[in-house]
Structure 1
Amino acid sequence: MNYATRKRQAVLFTTLPGLVTIGLMLLVPLASLGFLSFNTYDVNSGIKSAFSFENYVAIFTDSYYGLVFVRTLRIAFAVTFLSVCAGTLEAVVLSRMNPKYRSILLLVNFAPLLISVVSRTLGWALLIGPMGILNEMLTGVGILDSPLRLMYTETGVIVALTHVLVPFVVIAVWTALGRGDPLVEKAAVAMGASPFTVFRRIILMQALPGILSGGVVVFSLAASAFATPQIIGGARLKVASTLAYDEFLNTMNWPLGAAVAVVLILVIVAIVTLGSRMVEKRFPQVFK
């Protein structure tokens, strides 16, 4: 047995437990969800094991489902844009800070991730509600005449989701900037480049892999978020995840709920793949 064969066997042996775990924990449930989505549902008899595209036809022909998916993607893109802008600037500042203060700010930055998503979202509800702390303060000092309407709106959902998802961009961009050469910036300044040119042509290019990876994570989490849209958005502001939840547990139409979940997964995968390919094609030198 030569060295190459032994190496392939070693790689297979070490990765096999992970592949089995992924298969059992991820692929099998997803396959079951896919099969379920092709079943039908009857109010009187329940789920029928009959292969049908009925659920997908309903999703793609009913304007209500189209409205829900458009809203879901609109919120996800808005959260991704805000998170990338805020997270990139924060990562640039952190990469230039004194390590002692940087550790403190990193702890503050990742603090939202240490709190339960339900507790964190309820905190936002108390903060931005009609009688919340923010409105009481703004109306109390005379800045606003009436409470700011953020609860049960897309704006409130976007703000709450951005708050918790920014750290994913920060860590990704900070890691990417750490691999860059600081001498390149000094050379650009010595050659007479303006601060904006240095940021656009050097810092931003060094951060681009982190921006892409962080943006992918944020978009996926924002598009599939459940607790925040359910609490902040309320019952009327449906997104795809809350719609699937209602179909599963309220109307008991599991096949339709499974179809909604499958379409959401496919849409997220398609957008993430297409976006990544476009960025890598536009900036091939960055991803070499």
Structure 2
Amino acid sequence: MSRARPALTPWLLVSPGALLFLGLIVLPLVLTFILSFHVYDHTTGIKNEFTLAHYAAVVSDDYYLGIFWRTLRLAALTTLICAAVGLPEAYVLSRMRDPWRSVFLLVIIGPLLVSVVVRAFGWSMLLGSTGLVNQLLQALGFGTAKLLYTESAIVIALVHVMLPFMVIPIWTSLQKLDPMVEAAAWSLGASRFTALRRVVMPQVSLGMLSGSLIVFGLSASAFAIPGLLGGRRLKMAATLVYDEYMHELNWPLGAAIAIMVLLANLIIMLAYNRMVEARARRTLG
């Protein structure tokens, strides 16, 4: 009996989290996957029959493929901008001293304390035809720019929302890096840029990997920002699924779209994960 208890202890400790994960994530995904194969009739609703027509319709229709391409493209662009902005920001933050480090860390994570809907409405007012951005462009002589209900507006708002998810993992990786390693590179004649590129970047590649995966996944599944800043015509995957569920009432087609977006995200993220980890292993030995 005394030997059995230690063997069961890990299972007992992880069982609450495992049950929560199964009930809130795995089970809904399984039910959504099963629902995506049901036949839908506009007069009678969902039938207890199975078909592959929904997947075939999504794959063969340029309308759906165009929305998928826009979703993945804007998510990748958001991730790239967040990486370009987040790496220097995290580097500067890691070199700060208290209390400024705490102040600027609060500024970085501040957007997370405000609802996404509130932030989206704020950007809609800033990017509108009478917003502050257009007034500034007019004052600089660039004329009126149509930013609201465009892809640019979606990317701007997504970068603002997702940037903390990129900065925090990179900053955490930088906290584990010995500053003397970078100083040693300087003493051996390397410039600051070379030391950053050859010494710091390989060390924080895994932190950037974590941030990139989080930002890409959240951007590809974003709903509030594309819905409010993209309008009815500029759809992304999440808004398309919402329309199929709530407006068209075609739940099987919406489920099929959701499953295909999930699979596309997983394939891209796993491929990116392998590529970055392989490069990090080659660089760090």
Residue 138 of structure 1: CA displacement? Answer: 2.5
Number of the residue aligned with 1:231: 228
Calculate the aligned-residue CA RMSD, in Å. 1.5
TM-score, normalising length: structure 1: 0.95
Q: Distance in 2 between matches of 1:94 and 1:282?
A: 26
Residue 127 of structure 1: CA displacement? Answer: 0.2
Number of the residue aligned with 1:42: 41
Number of the residue aligned with 1:27: 26
Number of the residue aligned with 1:93: 92
Residue 136 of structure 1: CA displacement? Answer: 1.9
Number of the residue aligned with 1:265: 262
Q: Distance in 1 between matches of 2:20 and 2:283?
A: 33
Counterparts of 1:136-151 in structure 2, within 5 Å, are 136-139=135-138, 141-145=139-143, 147-151=144-148
C-alpha contact (below 8 Å) 1:206/1:286 kept by paired residues: no
Number of the residue aligned with 1:178: 175
Residue 286 of structure 1: CA displacement? Answer: 6.6
Q: Report SS of the residue matched to 1:50.
A: strand
Q: Distance in 2 between matches of 1:150 and 1:138?
A: 11
Name structure 1 gaps, 5 residues minimum. none
Q: Distance in 2 between matches of 1:172 and 1:166?
A: 11
C-alpha contact (below 8 Å) 1:128/1:134 kept by paired residues: yes
Would you say 1:197 and 2:191 are equivalent positions? no
Would you say 1:169 and 2:166 are equivalent positions? yes
Once the two structures are superposed, residues 205-262 of structure 1 have per-residue CA deviations (whole angstroms, 9 ceiling, x without a partner) of: 1211110000000000000000000000000001111000000000100000000111
Change over 3 Å in CA distance of 1:114–1:277 after alignment to 2 = same
Number of the residue aligned with 1:72: 71
Change over 3 Å in CA distance of 1:219–1:170 after alignment to 2 = same
Number of the residue aligned with 1:280: 277
Q: Report SS of the residue matched to 2:239.
A: helix
Number of the residue aligned with 2:125: 126
Which contiguous aligned blocks of 4+ residues in structure 1 show a shift greater than 3 angstroms? 5-8, 285-288
Q: Report SS of the residue matched to 1:99.
A: coil
Q: Distance in 1 between matches of 2:49 and 2:284?
A: 47
Q: Report SS of the residue matched to 1:49.
A: strand
Q: Distance in 1 between matches of 2:168 and 2:2?
A: 42
C-alpha contact (below 8 Å) 1:40/1:48 kept by paired residues: yes
Name structure 2 gaps, 5 residues minimum. none
Q: Report SS of the residue matched to 2:99.
A: helix
Q: Distance in 1 between matches of 2:49 and 2:168?
A: 47
Once the two structures are superposed, residues 33-82 of structure 1 have per-residue CA deviations (whole angstroms, 9 ceiling, x without a partner) of: 00100011111111112111110000101111100000000000000000
C-alpha contact (below 8 Å) 2:109/2:164 kept by paired residues: yes
Number of the residue aligned with 2:59: 60
Amino acid of the structure 2 residue aligned with 1:264? V
C-alpha contact (below 8 Å) 2:149/2:230 kept by paired residues: yes
Q: Report SS of the residue matched to 1:283.
A: helix
Q: Report SS of the residue matched to 2:281.
A: coil
Would you say 1:255 and 2:252 are equivalent positions? yes
Q: Distance in 2 between matches of 1:103 and 1:280?
A: 31
Q: Number of aligned pairs? A: 285
Residue 7 of structure 1: CA displacement? Answer: 4.1
Q: Distance in 1 between matches of 2:284 and 2:105?
A: 27
TM-score, normalising length: structure 2: 0.96
Would you say 1:219 and 2:234 are equivalent positions? no
C-alpha contact (below 8 Å) 1:209/1:287 kept by paired residues: no
C-alpha contact (below 8 Å) 2:206/2:280 kept by paired residues: no
